[in-house]
Structure 1
Amino acid sequence: MSEDRVFPPALAEVARVEFEYGEAGEGVDFEPYAAFDSAEETTDWLCHWTGNHELSGDAFRVFGQDGSGGLAAVWCVRPGRPLTEQPVVFMGSEGERGVVAGDLSGFLWVLADGFGPMEAALYPERTARPNADLAELAARHATTPRRPAREIIAEAQAEFATFDEDMDALCR
């Protein structure tokens, strides 16, 4: 397995967490995977998601989904940087999408504040619901200090402000 397909230990630990969505959807709609989807699965998904069957899924490492089939992925857009320094994005089953965090550390703190990938990308202004267990997980693995999810999300969305346009350009 190539080094850029090795599942980071932090995501392996996140995969053991059971996220509660709640009766009224007040929780986190996230089902983390125990490994990245294969390159073939990722390419197949991206081709169908965009309608462009000439694409490769090489820029994405899918590591979880929401209940409707929207996917959380590491977006390999920073050349030469390790997976842990790449942004995390959400791509919904109906074309919704957004940047979740600028790197894996930020993503861990977003989870600790009670936001899943879908909630962070689509509802960043929702009320934070800190989770002590996820905060402990983030403290063990993050290489950045804890910050509020809203701050992490806003910073990442500003840094990757063309994400929507970049994805639109892939669509047919």
Structure 2
Amino acid sequence: MAVTEFDRDGGNGIEFEPYAAFASAEDTTDWLRSWTGNPALDGGAYRVFGQDGTGGLAALWRVRSGRPLVEQPVVFMGSEGACGVVAGDLSDFLWVLADGIGPMEAVEYDDPSGRPDPVLTSLAERHATTPRRPAREIARGARAEFPAYVRDIEDLCR
């Protein structure tokens, strides 16, 4: 996985740090158990690939059976308990980032606003397979596709 520098613009840019590689299965399971307080969980459904400045994690949620990782939805689980679906797939997530929106903002705000990032826009233009749409439209569409995600995660918490 290629890592791109994110312009944090003195706290006004995207607060997101992609990892150079996915977190290990053990680390993901440990984290999910700690985050939910549920020692029986297995983190196998998630491939964690980055975090924000608060320690919240972004992951690919392997919910679409038989489909490649790039076609799985991107989810966020924040350090303070916020969680949600950010984008329907990795391609749409690139457009969210291009709009200057990080995963936490896409989950916590109904109408997130950011400052479009030319470097991330160029990256999305080169690699995205979906058409460009505003980040708020992408996030709303992903939440509509997976409406029970937040409730299902909350039900796992102890």
* Structure 1 length-normalised TM: 0.87
C-alpha distance in 2 between matches for 1:58 and 1:50: 15
Distance 1:37 1:75, change over 3 A: same
Q: Which digits, 9 at most, give the CA deviation of each residue in 1:105-152, with x for residues without a partner? A: 000000000001111111241323111111110111111111111111
Runs of 4+ displaced beyond 4 Å = none
Please, which runs of 5 or more residues in structure 2 have no aligned partner?
none
Q: Is residue 2:7 matched to residue 1:19?
A: yes
Q: Secondary structure at the match of 2:32?
A: helix
Corresponding residue for residue 26 of structure 2? 40
Task: Specify the code of the residue in structure 2 equivalent to 1:88.
Answer: V
Residue 139 (structure 1) aligned with residue 125 (structure 2): yes
Equivalent AA in structure 1 for residue 18 of structure 2: P
**Offset of 1:32 from its aligned partner?**
1.1
Preserved contact between residue 101 and residue 113 of structure 2 (Cα < 8 Å):
no
Q: What SS is found at the alignment partner of 1:100?
A: strand
Q: CA deviation at 1:26?
A: 2.9
Of 112, 115, 135 in structure 1, the residue corresponding to residue 101 of structure 2 is 115
Which amino acid in 1 is paired with 2:6?
E
Deviation at 1:29, TM superposition (A): 1.2
Whichever residue aligns with residue 95 of structure 2, its letter is W
Q: Distance in 2 between matches of 1:128 and 1:147?
A: 14
Residue 166 (structure 1) aligned with residue 152 (structure 2): yes
Deviation at 1:21, TM superposition (A): 5.5
Structure 1 residue identity aligned to 2:132? R
Tell me the distance in 2 between the aligned counterparts of 1:78 and 1:167.
17
Count of aligned pairs between the two proteins: 158
Q: CA RMSD in A?
A: 1.2
* 2:36 paired residue among 46, 50, 54: 50
1:87 maps onto 2:79 in alignment: no
Aligned to 2:135: 149
Q: Are the counterparts in 2 of residues 50 and 170 from structure 1 also a CA contact under 8 Å?
A: yes
Q: Trace 1:63-82 onto structure 2 (pairs within 5 A).
A: 63-82=49-68
* 2-structure distance, mates of 1:16, 1:136: 11
User: Contact 1:86–1:104 (CA<8 Å) still a contact in 2?
Assistant: yes
